[in-house]
Amino acid sequence: MENEEKFMKHIRSEYNEIKISSRDVVIGCKAAMFQLKTDYSTDRVDYDGHVLFSKKGKPKDIKLVYAGESEDFAERIYDFSRRVRVPNILPPCLFGYCLQEFGQDDTTLFGREALMKRGFWGLCYDKYETSLVSWSKGVDNGEIKDDEKATMKDAKRCLTEFWRRTIRDILITISHIHGSNLYHGGLDSLSSYVFFNGELTLIKVEYCLDDHVVKDKDSRMMQDFKDFKNMLAVLLKPNEFWDERDHFLRCFDDASTASYSTYLKKLVEHPFLMDAKGRMDRLSRFHADLESGLSNAMCTCRNKLGRDFLRFRRWQRCITDPLLLEVYDYAKKNSAVKTYVDVPRDLLRFLRNLNEHLKEKIFYSGTIDDVDELVRSNWGGFLDTIHLHSVQ
């Protein structure tokens, strides 16, 4: 209800047994009642509470998220968020108007208290564990340590399995939003993400691609991906040197001229989101495509090269590790194997041979993770560059 006085009068008539003046009770009009509890001195983006859908119903635990002061906008988010039925979007269970009466003068209220006194529209969600805002602050200040999600980079500078899977899932979820003729519009904000049943999940899908203000649908969809990139840039240890992360984040911009489907594939199948075996096998596959002529994708790697590959031209100088030397010298000792020259095409052949030697256990007793780390340490960005230029 727009009129606050009528709203409170209505609630009192329905629930005259409730002590409305209590600082712990907040009443909403879209359900029989919802009650919220929060520490107003914090900067949390949500409220804990429960909702009753009937006077004698069983309370349902919820989180309530601020949706603005417009009923139309809250209803819009409610409808759009429920339109996309995929696991990584948490739909709201209802939206409602929130209002609370305070006895003290407005000048003594915290900002969130003043907001609650003015009244606002909120979205109720099934209770999730925490928002990404609260979780990331807990990680930064050391309050969250044991959570497996808190470790994003392992000892070999690789993205951990949880985050590889999660980032792929969110990218695909964004494409499902677009496939429903919607776009999110707020993926650069940590407040658009929550952890629900242990998984990173989106909330608050706000916009339709058919809105009259949308003049370029393609740019709106592309902006969702770039907003997601900007959020990841904040989340993925921005103050630490991490070359593998930086190659992935640059791909959001560098691949943006591709078609939508190709662009999505470039991101979802990026080497940063693979494990060690996946990266080494991808090198072998690229080599096979190049040799068979099945792909013109490798044209910039075929000869003396395009600009992006120039830094790999003298790749043989990096071969100092005993494992690398054994595979490298194998070509010199075996007359049936062509020796290597200083062009990136031969670096790709060498890395393919390295992978095959490992699989056949010809020389090395180490693991695929050790080999992958060697490759990234000596020729960091090589696979990422081939991946960017390939047409699959």
CA distances, 170 to each of 76, 87, 149, 211, 269 (Å):
22, 10, 15, 24, 13
Q: Give pLDDT, residue 315.
A: 93
Q: Give pLDDT, residue 145.
A: 77
On whether the CB atoms of residues 52 and 30 are closer than 8 A, the answer is: no
Q: Give pLDDT, residue 340.
A: 86
* HEC secondary structure over the chain: CCCHHHHHHHHHHHCCCCCCCCCCCCEECCCCEEEEECCCCCCCCEEEEEEECCCCCCCEEEEEEECCCCHHHHHHHHHHHHHCCCCCECCCCEEEEEECCCCCCHHHCCHHHHHHHHCEEEEEEECCCEEHHHHHHHHHCCCCCCCHHHCCECCCCCECHHHHHHHHHHHHHHHHHHHCCEECCCCCCHHHEEEECCEEEECCCCEECCCCCCCCHHHHHHHHHHHHHHHHHHHCCCCCCCHHHHHHHHHHHHCCCCCHHHHHHHHHCCHHHCCHHHHHHHHHHHHHHHHHCCCHHHHHHHCCCCHHHHHHCCHHHHCCCHHHHHHHHHHHHCCCCCCCCCCHHHHHHHHHHHHHHHHHCCCCCCCHHHHHHHHHHHCCCHHHHHHHHCCC
Specify the pTM: 0.85
CATH number of 4-127: 3.30.200
Per-residue pLDDT of the chain in tens (392 residues, 90 and over written 9): 344 455 556 555 655 555 545 545 555 555 556 677 655 556 677 888 888 766 667 888 899 898 988 899 999 999 999 999 899 999 998 888 887 766 555 555 556 667 777 788 889 999 999 999 999 999 888 888 777 899 899 999 999 999 999 999 999 999 999 999 999 999 999 999 999 999 999 999 999 998 866 678 889 999 999 999 999 999 998 888 999 999 999 999 999 999 999 999 999 999 999 999 999 999 999 998 887 765 544 555 444 346 778 888 889 999 998 888 888 887 777 766 678 888 888 999 999 999 988 877 665 566 889 999 999 999 999 999 999 988 55
CATH 1.20.1440 domain residues, the chain:
276-389
Cα gap 173→274, rounded to integer Å: 18
CATH 1.10.510 domain residues, the chain:
132-273
On whether the CB atoms of residues 74 and 124 are closer than 8 A, the answer is: no
CATH 3.30.200 domain residues, the chain:
4-127
- Sign of the CA dihedral running 151, 156, 159, 165: negative
* CATH architecture of the domain formed by 132-273: Orthogonal Bundle (1.10)
CATH class as words, domain 276-389: mainly alpha
Which positions ≥6 away from 58 have C-beta within 8 Å? 52
